[in-house]
């Protein structure tokens, strides 16, 4: 009788545990595809599906990744995205990609992707790449890559790339989200709208408030 009481008491707990484990991962797809319907105004986690009867091959394709991006900017780099915004058929599939072009000594400034791990392959040139682990270690893990080399940037960690050659460089990256997002550290900290208080940033970076203001004005 005591065993029955124990089972009855534990049953709700076991059910809750099973429920949490079941929903801890992304749910399996319930259909072949869910092509994004850009005209649908429904707000949801992802994008509403287009009627499958209206889906065409163009919903799953993108042209132009062979074209170099314009690196004529202060960073000397350009990112050509291929996300759900470019290929509606990526909706709910959890993947995307980008082409990255680098002028000589061009950089992709420190940033992170809130929703994706990134795997980068060097197509041309030589790149210095790296990411920084979270607090308290803040360890820099960095490597020089050559043509054909691959490097992984874990989700949510700050990372960067720099062309260390005298010629243009090209890389292709795959990302584990249809909409990985990007937060560039300098823009987030110094270019927020409205500005983060100069007092806060001056204390955080241990510099004079005038220096913070000068940086904020650049954004």
- The whole-angstrom separation of Cα 121 and Cα 127 is 10
pLDDT of residue 187: 96
Q: 46-89: per-residue pLDDT in tens?
A: 789 999 999 999 999 999 999 999 999 999 999 999 999 999 99
Determine if residue 113 is labeled as part of a ligand binding site. yes
Determine if residue 118 is labeled as part of a ligand binding site. yes
Summarize the confidence of residues 167-190 as an average pLDDT: 96
Order the strands of the 127-132 sheet from edge to edge: 140-145, 127-132, 159-163, 107-112, 183-184
Element (H, E) at 3: helix 2-22
Say what the alpha-carbon torsion angle 68, 89, 44, 41 is, to the nearest 10 degrees. 90
Q: 148-177: per-residue pLDDT in tens?
A: 999 999 999 999 999 999 999 999 999 999
Of residues 131, 153, 152, the one with CA closest to residue 142: 131
* Burial (CB count <10 Å: 0-12, 13-18, 19+), residue 161: buried
Q: Is the pLDDT of residue 128 over 80?
A: yes
Residue 144: Cβ within 10 Å count = 12
Q: 27-39: per-residue pLDDT in tens?
A: 556 789 999 998 8
- pLDDT: is 26 or 211 the higher one? 211
Residues sharing a CB contact under 8 Å with residue 54, sequence separation 6 or more, in sequence order: none
């Amino acid at each position: 009788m005591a065993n029955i009481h124990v089972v009855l008491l534990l049953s709700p707990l076991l059910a809750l545990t099973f429920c949490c484990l079941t929903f801890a991962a992304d749910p399996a797809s319930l259909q072949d595809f869910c092509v994004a319907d850009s005209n649908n105004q429904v707000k949801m986690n992802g994008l509403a599906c287009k009627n499958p009867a209206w889906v065409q091959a163009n919903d799953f394709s993108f042209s132009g990744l062979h074209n170099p991006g314009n690196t004529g900017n202060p960073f000397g780099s350009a990112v050509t995205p291929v996300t759900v915004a470019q290929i509606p058929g990526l909706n709910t599939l959890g993947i995307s990609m980008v082409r990255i072009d680098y002028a000589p000594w061009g950089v992709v400034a420190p940033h992170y992707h809130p929703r994706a791990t990134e795997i980068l392959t060097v197509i041309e040139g030589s790149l210095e790449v790296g990411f920084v682990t979270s607090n308290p270690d803040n360890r820099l893990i960095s490597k020089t890559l050559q043509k054909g080399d691959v490097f992984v940037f874990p989700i949510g960690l700050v990372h960067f790339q720099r062309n260390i050659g005298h010629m243009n460089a090209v890389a292709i990256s795959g990302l584990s989200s249809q909409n990985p997002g990007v937060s560039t550290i300098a823009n987030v900290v110094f270019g927020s709208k409205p500005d983060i208080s100069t007092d806060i940033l001056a204390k955080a970076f241990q510099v004079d408030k005038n220096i913070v203001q000068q940086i904020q004005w650049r954004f």
